[in-house]
Amino acid sequence: MLLLICGCDTPEPEQRGEKVTYLTGVAAQGREAYVYVAIDKGWFAEAGFDVAVQPGNGTVQNLQVLQGGQADFAIVDITAALIEHGKGTFRDFTVISAVHQRNLAAIMALEGSGVTTPADLAGKRIAYLPGGVARTLFDAYAARSGVDDSRIEWVNMPIQQMGQGLAAGSIDAATQFVVAKPALEAIAKGRAVTVLPYSDVLPDLYGNGLAVSRAALRDPERLRRFNTAMLRGLAFAAEHPDEAAAIFVKYQQGQTAAVAAAELTAMAPYVAPAGALDPVRVAANVAALPPPGNTVDPADVISYDLRPR
């Protein structure tokens, strides 16, 4: 969750088809190069879509934009989306594929911070993104890893500032995704990075997924076409991180290809099988959540039959 947003104009190949808006998970980051791969290689165009990519700002705001009709497709954290549905905050959405088969949420800290194990987080200053899944799930993570969360000082901080905050010592740790380690290492300039993945103690949780409004379910074949093109890009990016990173920086010219490739390489083990959503695993995901997320009927949130045929 670290890379800077590029405000520059980006080249786009000529596309034909239905114009749709797609929200990334958070900002413009190398781990989401797959959507640009699918655009650049013409796979969305072949599926009948002209895709405009907009930077997202986490699950809560992405669901708000999606429910408000300002986006057609949005990347959300599946676990966070289940929790929000349980709260009743957002109901007009469904998840049609999984980008990550395991949740990527983590706590990261730099050498010298005093954080090397989960227990070390007690008494520390931890930066977080409001509405972000890492903060939402922290209580469950703390309970299973033995963290005294009553002694933590939470610091509201934009994602783009967390790396600098860690390097400067204004915070001791930060909520991140595990794939952000390469970007953090670049900012840390030689200092070792400690990564505490939530999946070590919460293995049943899914990561990001593709969400649409429930009204979109009226045309399942349209959703399947989009899903097929996106997942084709995802599989390619996982298998060819260097080429995918080169495509990404063509669209996001303020980014660094080496960091993007490193993020994609780190993400690859979390992807396969691309798009899969298993009812048994989803049920286990729901059962592992704090209330009211653990009261959700998965059928109200997950659509299992819209993956590629």
Closest Cα to residue 82, out of 129, 23, 136? 136
Q: What is the pLDDT of residues 83-94, one digit of tens each?
A: 999 999 899 999
**What per-residue confidence (pLDDT) applies to 7?**
42
pLDDT (average), residues 162-179: 94
pLDDT (average), residues 17-37: 94
Average pLDDT across the chain, whole number: 91
Check the CA dihedral 222-224-227-231 and report its sign.
negative
**What per-residue confidence (pLDDT) applies to 41?**
98
In this prediction the pTM is: 0.86
pLDDT (average), residues 81-107: 94
pLDDT for residue 31 is more than 50: yes
Please identify, in words, the CATH class of the domain defined by 105-200: alpha beta
Domain boundaries, the chain: 18-102+205-300, 105-200
**What per-residue confidence (pLDDT) applies to 6?**
43
Confidence of residue 15 (pLDDT cuts 50, 70, 90): low
Burial class for 306, CB neighbours closer than 10 Å (0-12, 13-18, 19+) = buried
Same topology, domains 18-102+205-300 and 105-200? Answer is yes
Looking at residue 308, its amino acid is P
**What per-residue confidence (pLDDT) applies to 8?**
46
Q: Does 18-102+205-300 carry CATH code 3.90.380.10? A: no
Q: What is the pLDDT of residues 47-70, one digit of tens each?
A: 999 999 999 988 999 999 999 999
Confidence of residue 286 (pLDDT cuts 50, 70, 90): very high
Dist. CA 133–CA 252, nearest whole Å: 25
